[in-house]
A and B are shown apart, each in its own frame.
Chain A
Amino acid sequence: MTSNVDPITLEVFQNALSSIADELALVIMRSAYSNIVRDSMDYSTAVCDCNGLTIAQGLTTPVHLGSFPHAMRSLIDAYEGKMSPGDVFIFNDPYEAGGMHLPDFYVIKPVFVQDRLEGYVATLAHQIDVGGIAPGGMGVFSQEIFQEGLRIPILKLFDKGQANESIFSLIKINTRMPESLMGDLRAQISACNTGEKGMISLVNKYDGNSFREHCEALHDYAEKIIRKQIAKLPDGKYKYEDYLDGVGENPEPIKFCVSINIKGDHVNIDWTGTSQQVKAAINGPLPTTHAMSYLGVRCAVATQMPNCEGYMRAISVTAPKGSIVNPFEPAACGARGIICFRMFDTLLGAFAQILPDRIPAANEGGSTAPHIAGRDVNNKPFMVSGGLMGCWGGNSSSDGVEGISNPAANLGNTPIELLESRQPIEITKYAFITNSGGPGCQRGGVALVRGYRLLEEAAELVVRSDRRSVLPYGLADGLPGTPSWNVIYSDGNQKLLPACPMESVPMKKGDEFIHYQAGAGGYGDPLDREPDKVLRDTMNELFSLDYAAEVYGVIIENEWVSEEKTAKKRKILRADKSHKDAYLQHFHKAIGVDFSNWKPHFANKS
């Protein structure tokens, strides 16, 4: 810790900074327009020091942890010495400007005190639509970034306080949803102005030099915490592989391979061995890979720590150029969220070898993001969006949580009533699926189902989902989770869609799109699950009676566990391992999907 800053003042200083970052986040949440920002909370805010290093981040979504460093670096590279009070910068491009994918707009304001640059307030929000081949910017089928919508290099949106109206006009004409996007952009600008005020008064309180000294001390402090935690882990190399299903009708699995190399108080995250970049919009430019690597380490080892860039000094990341986690321009990356989730799963799979008591089995695999868009009779655009989640894997002490956001995202859902009152859609169901999730002594969280019925004449459906063939992994003899399915019911006919269709799917009035999400992995042998817990799950209609009997070996009669029959049944099941896949048949029976041609791909390995 820097000698001139005492731990008392530093604690006070850290509090003051976090409250500025939170204040920025609140302004955005309350005045934003799109449901992605205001309900899902797919946005982040940060306060940075004069070198552009993050010193505080608003608590919104973990996936954005570490999303500012690259952005700040490219801003400073481009504009160092050329910034003035009143400037506001905007950009979204992952190759030119350190962005994540095109929908994520960065709006950043440098903060000057007495004409000296003291730091930055920064915001990042997922915009509902930025043009391009598919509504919502998530078209998996883009092959180059040029198809994905408006690319914005680093531009001055405000020059010395003067708005550059040309940029506003350019953006407005390039989106399908101008009202929403412009509203959210205003919220970002307004948050920056609020944050600027808070930061100026903080700098004044500490006076410039001492403020900088405190920022340094804070970085040192965060680094110290994480190094202490890493040092507690045994040195070594821990490897894990997981897969994305792949895209289109005949998907080829895409491999993610990570090695966690722990040496003393430093950790290297190495993605060597991961698949090459692909001709689909699921490539993750380097900032994404860094963000996920930091997040994995943070979840595994240190939960209580300020969101301050100093801790990143203890972590290095290796990502081979040309791989899906560090692609060459102009690889498309609009739907790169899905690889974020898979990187997270792969990292945790590796950490599970080091911290078996702390790491849960795999979660649902990430949000499913359906977009249903079109124009109504008055040619007014509509768009149904919003990610679906989710459930967590079982862990050494408890069942997987269900009805919860993916731990890497922490995004919220949109109220059905709000959705229906604004968009021509009827939500037909939103519920847990019986007999879903991976069986285990601590079972995986059960999956969810949501149905959408179109009320307008026509629309296009774009969907990005995963975990149909490579199932969420189980741990410690727990079984993998259940697969995801996309189904359209049209005029009484059932049609199965790929997990990631490589084209938009037409829908007509009355058609119903149903997404069955993947269920999470189990932990421990299901035959060791306490019969009373199985009874409760059965009473709660999460399990059917025959599922309880055939998968868990628990015989329930008249709402009671028959201990004798259960003991007998479990003995039989223990002797015969062939029952292990029975849960998948029960699951498919419960949702009424014909899966005769389906085969799971048990590919994970450490």
Chain B
Amino acid sequence: MSEFIKSKSVNRCRIGVDIGGTFTDIVLTSDGKPPLVKKISSTPENYASAVAEGIDALIKEEHIEPEEISDVVHATTVATNAILEGKGAHTGLITTKGFRDVLEFRRVRFPELYNLSYVKPRPLVERRDRLEVIERISADGSVRVILDETSVVKAALKLKGRGVAAVAICLLHSYINPTHEKRVEEIIRDIMPAGTFICSSYDVLPEIREYERTSTTVVNAYLGPVLSHYLLQLRKKLNDIKVTSPLYVMQSGGGQMSDSAALNLPAYFVESGPAAGVVAAAAIAKRAGLEQIITLDIGGTTAKTAIVEGGEPSRTSEYEVGAGVNLSSKLVKGAGYSIKLSFIDVSEIGAGGGSVVWFDDGGLMKVGPESAGSFPGPVCYDLGGEKVTLTDANLLLGYLNPMGLLGGRMKINREKAYSYVKQSVGDHLNLSAMDAAMGIFTVAVNNMVRAVKSVSTYRGRDPREFTLVAFGGNGAVLAAAIADELDITKFLVPSRSGVLSAAGLLAADTTNERVRYLFGVVGDLEDDLVLSAFDSLRVEASTQLLEQGFSPTEISNNMFADLRYRGQAFELTVPVHIHTPKLTEMMAHRFHEEHQLTYGHKSTDEQVELVSIRVSARVSKPKEVTVERKAKPTATFEKRMVKFKANCAEVETTILNGRENIDNKCICGPVIIEEYDSTIVVPPDWLAEVDGSGNLIVSKGRVSHDFKC
């Protein structure tokens, strides 16, 4: 299939679509032409409609034939929304006798200490639909109790009678011996009506820890019918507009998967959108020669961060969907539904432009997590909002254009914001309106600093060795202040950062990740055995890509191993080069190094255990993420007074309308660069330059004119 595309696509167009709750962004790239962008309202009743309509409109406007489109890649919130709104399928669960309640016990911890009114999230499968079968596998994989097939038939008939649309199967120790699960699956398939979504844990997540494996399998089943329906709809709508190219879906782990493969693994798409943003930022930074970055995506409600090392986004397998904001490395879990798959490790804090300012009982000022949203929004929108937000503070400080946002299309009311900040914050603290605004800004910045720390210092990484990549509507407004707090000296703002996620879709590789439980102590394990396990897993991982039509030469493989010290329970994942002599010894060596880096100590005399091996098969996509714009200098230099620091007077600051107005591609702060969908604040001791790809690179330490407090 891919060969076919290559030969045919003389004028290849690629389309990336990011479907958000409010807007659907479409980016179209074609060889040698500037990319095209379209932003339209999403259609939550059927997300597929907006996608097809948007693509149709865009190609018609640009006179592109549907056949010229080589692939459509998209990120979707369908999976997340189904969970948040409780609109997944009526699902049944089959477990080992004695363990039907594992799903509901979870890990028994709860996320709100001291709260005696805490209410636990309802399990995705009600107890009545959690049925037990008689069987038991031991920890070593041996069969302790032979599968009683009659008990399976009984359970299947019961679920059939209840009319469930999906069935998840998770038996104890199936990660090491899946024979019972496979047989249960066969029997269930025979009995349930055609079209029932059925999945087993050995297939979805063959890893030790029964709660996490059960929960992941259940989420997968719960989403199965919803996602199938959506993908079939989308395919149909695309066919209607004669787009028949391959369709891909972005995975939470950063790769993408064909729609046919995605049908069976919906749990992989829960954080599709945020993953796309990180992949895009990583790709753009890599082109700019930056491989160590921390992404900073700040919108109206949340600030999201992720760390990228050596050009690769960091991943986690400890994710809970529906848990509200997801702070990486967080200690207290249990608020959502566990999915133990590979996710790009995005850390989230409830702080964005719309975050509301309030005071607690002890008189401390807080910003967020409540957000004023887009309606009524901040006070300055003048739509009836009466709660002071970060955006109001940003406006008073001079960071935002008092005449209006979105290129003047959205009017704002500075006087109103001023009087609200003065009355509800300033008077409370005995501060002027400007000092109050600075205070709001400082508190918000510090909330966001915590999100940056959680992906860096919490894991032994020094943020000073990283460049921030700022995007989202507010990323570049706050980037310099956040960088200052952490002694980070550089940040990058991609062009068209408002549609970065959509562009990022076109940068993602097609991947298929497989994991296998392979337990043993380094020293006892035979290198040949490990090598052959990697080989067979590699074949398994590639099969699906070959079925999608890629040729073996296009597929590359990355191998990883999960290791720990004997007795530890948390593994560290390290990359493995399988064609090195002393394979397992080298794996242990890498593990010691990673342990030292992450936890500050290693124990080279302790035994190291291998727990699982992983293979990520991938096909690289052309990295067309540049969304550079034609430079059309407008050359009208405005000035306004801007406050950059507490206890410092406001300074007269140059305002540029777009980065293309930077003379000689370089300008010293203080300067504010206003673009259509974002504003870049460059404080006095920072310097901004535009690189060859249109990225704005802002660095610290070159103090311009004699700016002093």
Contact present for B443 and A403 (CB under 8 Å)? no
Flag the segment in B106-114, B184-192, B379-387 that touches A.
Answer: B106-114
Known: A198-B457, A417-B209. 7 other contacts (CB 8 A): A11-B364, A19-B454, A183-B606, A222-B362, A358-B116, A404-B110, A407-B116
Residues of chain A with a CB closer than 8 A to B144's CB: 426
Contact present for A29 and B113 (CB under 8 Å)? no
Contact present for A541 and B366 (CB under 8 Å)? no
| Alpha-carbon separation in the docked complex, A392 to B447 (Å) | 33
Q: Identify 27 residue pairs between A and B in the complex whose beta-carbon atoms are under 8 Å apart, listed by A's number.
A: A1-B362, A7-B365, A16-B446, A19-B450, A23-B453, A31-B601, A33-B565, A35-B569, A38-B570, A179-B566, A183-B568, A183-B606, A221-B363, A229-B361, A304-B361, A403-B104, A403-B106, A405-B108, A405-B109, A411-B109, A415-B212, A416-B99, A417-B209, A426-B136, A429-B97, A448-B101, A539-B128
A225 at the binding interface (Cβ < 8 Å): yes
Contacts A33-B568, A416-B172 hold; do A541 and B101 have CB atoms under 8 A apart?
Answer: no
Q: Is the interface of B mostly helix, strand, loop or mixed?
A: loop
B127 at the binding interface (Cβ < 8 Å): yes
Contact present for B208 and A415 (CB under 8 Å)? yes
A354 at the binding interface (Cβ < 8 Å): no
Contact present for B599 and A30 (CB under 8 Å)? yes
| Alpha-carbon separation in the docked complex, A14 to B450 (Å) | 12
Identity of the chain B residue whose Cβ is nearest the Cβ of A397 in the assembled complex: B117
Contact present for B569 and A404 (CB under 8 Å)? no
Contacts A14-B364, A29-B570, A540-B126 hold; do A430 and B113 have CB atoms under 8 A apart?
Answer: no
Residues of chain B with a CB closer than 8 A to A1's CB: 362-363
B586 at the binding interface (Cβ < 8 Å): no
Residues of chain A with a CB closer than 8 A to B496's CB: none
Contacts A60-B331, A299-B114, A415-B209 hold; do A225 and B108 have CB atoms under 8 A apart?
Answer: no
Interface residues in A134-191 (C-beta closer than 8 Å to B) = 179-180, 183, 186-187, 189-190
A193 at the binding interface (Cβ < 8 Å): yes
A401 at the binding interface (Cβ < 8 Å): yes
Q: Fill in one digit per residue for A286-316: 1 if any B CB lies within 8 Å of its CB, else 0.
A: 0000000001001110111100000000000
| Alpha-carbon separation in the docked complex, A298 to B112 (Å) | 13
B105 at the binding interface (Cβ < 8 Å): yes
Contact present for B362 and A179 (CB under 8 Å)? no
A575 at the binding interface (Cβ < 8 Å): no
Contact present for B366 and A11 (CB under 8 Å)? yes
B22 at the binding interface (Cβ < 8 Å): no
Contacts A6-B429, A41-B109 hold; do A430 and B365 have CB atoms under 8 A apart?
Answer: no
Q: Fill in one digit per residue for B589-625: 1 if any A CB lies within 8 Å of its CB, else 0.
A: 0000001001111010010000000000000000000
A588 at the binding interface (Cβ < 8 Å): no
Contact present for A26 and B104 (CB under 8 Å)? no
Contact present for A390 and B360 (CB under 8 Å)? no
B509 at the binding interface (Cβ < 8 Å): no
| Alpha-carbon separation in the docked complex, A35 to B568 (Å) | 8
Contact present for A430 and B109 (CB under 8 Å)? no
Within the complex, which residue of A179, A299, A420, A448 is in contact with B567, where a contact is CB–CB below 8 Å?
A179
B692 at the binding interface (Cβ < 8 Å): no
A359 at the binding interface (Cβ < 8 Å): yes
Contact present for A431 and B115 (CB under 8 Å)? no
Residues of chain A with a CB closer than 8 A to B101's CB: 403, 430-432, 448
B194 at the binding interface (Cβ < 8 Å): no
Contacts A23-B457, A38-B570, A417-B172 hold; do A410 and B109 have CB atoms under 8 A apart?
Answer: yes
A478 at the binding interface (Cβ < 8 Å): no
Within the complex, which residue of A7, A32, A180, A429 is in contact with B429, where a contact is CB–CB below 8 Å?
A7
Identity of the chain B residue whose Cβ is nearest the Cβ of A410 in the assembled complex: B109
* Count of chain B residues with a beta carbon within 8 Å of a chain A beta carbon: 76
B458 at the binding interface (Cβ < 8 Å): yes
Contacts A8-B442, A22-B331 hold; do A430 and B105 have CB atoms under 8 A apart?
Answer: yes
| Cβ-closest 5 pairs across A and B | A429-B98, A8-B439, A540-B127, A225-B362, A420-B139
Q: How far is the CB of B114 from chain A (nearest CB, A)?
A: 4
Interface residues in A30-81 (C-beta closer than 8 Å to B) = 30-35, 38-39, 41, 58-60, 62
Contact present for A224 and B126 (CB under 8 Å)? no
| Alpha-carbon separation in the docked complex, A30 to B136 (Å) | 31
Residues of chain A with a CB closer than 8 A to B446's CB: 11-12, 15-16
Contact present for B208 and A430 (CB under 8 Å)? no
A272 at the binding interface (Cβ < 8 Å): no
Contacts A225-B360, A403-B101, A542-B127 hold; do A26 and B117 have CB atoms under 8 A apart?
Answer: no
Residues of chain A with a CB closer than 8 A to B331's CB: 22, 25-26, 29, 41, 58-60
Residues of chain B with a CB closer than 8 A to A542's CB: 127
Contact present for B209 and A299 (CB under 8 Å)? no
B118 at the binding interface (Cβ < 8 Å): yes
Residues of chain B with a CB closer than 8 A to A23's CB: 453, 457-458
Identity of the chain B residue whose Cβ is nearest the Cβ of A424 in the assembled complex: B139
Contact present for B108 and A359 (CB under 8 Å)? no
Contact present for A401 and B120 (CB under 8 Å)? yes
Contact present for B105 and A413 (CB under 8 Å)? yes
Q: Fill in one digit per residue for B15-44: 1 if any A CB lies within 8 Å of its CB, else 0.
A: 000000000000000000000000000000
Contact present for A403 and B108 (CB under 8 Å)? yes
Interface residues in B158-217 (C-beta closer than 8 Å to A) = 172-173, 175, 208-212
Interface residues in B309-336 (C-beta closer than 8 Å to A) = 329, 331-332
Q: Fill in one digit per residue for A417-436: 1 if any B CB lies within 8 Å of its CB, else 0.
A: 11011000010111110000
A-B contact count (CB 8 A): 225
B100 at the binding interface (Cβ < 8 Å): yes
Q: Fill in one digit per residue for B448-471: 1 if any A CB lies within 8 Å of its CB, else 0.
A: 011001100110100000000000
Q: How far is the CB of B93 from chain A (nearest CB, A)?
A: 13
Within the complex, which residue of A38, A186, A360, A412 is in contact with B109, where a contact is CB–CB below 8 Å?
A412
Q: Fill in one digit per residue for A350-372: 1 if any B CB lies within 8 Å of its CB, else 0.
A: 00000000111000000000000
B709 at the binding interface (Cβ < 8 Å): no
Identity of the chain A residue whose Cβ is nearest the Cβ of B606 in the assembled complex: A183
Residues of chain A with a CB closer than 8 A to B362's CB: 1, 221-222, 224-225, 228, 305
Residues of chain A with a CB closer than 8 A to B365's CB: 7-8, 11
Contact present for A359 and B116 (CB under 8 Å)? yes
Identity of the chain A residue whose Cβ is nearest the Cβ of B109 in the assembled complex: A412
Q: How far is the CB of A33 from chain B (nearest CB, A)?
A: 4
| Alpha-carbon separation in the docked complex, A198 to B595 (Å) | 19
Identity of the chain B residue whose Cβ is nearest the Cβ of A30 in the assembled complex: B570
Identity of the chain A residue whose Cβ is nearest the Cβ of B366 in the assembled complex: A11
Contact present for B208 and A26 (CB under 8 Å)? no
Q: Fill in one digit per residue for B526-552: 1 if any A CB lies within 8 Å of its CB, else 0.
A: 000000000000000000000000000
Residues of chain B with a CB closer than 8 A to A299's CB: 114-116
Residues of chain B with a CB closer than 8 A to A392's CB: 116
Most buried by A among B106, B366, B460, B569: B569
Identity of the chain A residue whose Cβ is nearest the Cβ of B425 in the assembled complex: A8
B419 at the binding interface (Cβ < 8 Å): no
B10 at the binding interface (Cβ < 8 Å): no
Contact present for A10 and B601 (CB under 8 Å)? no
Q: How far is the CB of A318 from chain B (nearest CB, A)?
A: 23
Identity of the chain B residue whose Cβ is nearest the Cβ of A433 in the assembled complex: B101
Contact present for B116 and A10 (CB under 8 Å)? no
Residues of chain A with a CB closer than 8 A to B128's CB: 539-541
Q: How far is the CB of B62 from chain A (nearest CB, A)?
A: 48
Interface residues in B201-235 (C-beta closer than 8 Å to A) = 208-212
B143 at the binding interface (Cβ < 8 Å): no
Identity of the chain B residue whose Cβ is nearest the Cβ of A299 in the assembled complex: B114
Contact present for B568 and A228 (CB under 8 Å)? no
A606 at the binding interface (Cβ < 8 Å): no
Residues of chain B with a CB closer than 8 A to A30's CB: 570, 598-599
Contacts A6-B429, A418-B208 hold; do A430 and B99 have CB atoms under 8 A apart?
Answer: yes
Within the complex, which residue of A9, A411, A417 is in contact with B208, where a contact is CB–CB below 8 Å?
A417
Contact present for B569 and A405 (CB under 8 Å)? no
Q: How far is the CB of B427 from chain A (nearest CB, A)?
A: 13
Contacts A410-B109, A413-B108, A415-B210 hold; do A38 and B360 have CB atoms under 8 A apart?
Answer: no
Within the complex, which residue of A404, A539, A541 is in contact with B108, where a contact is CB–CB below 8 Å?
A404
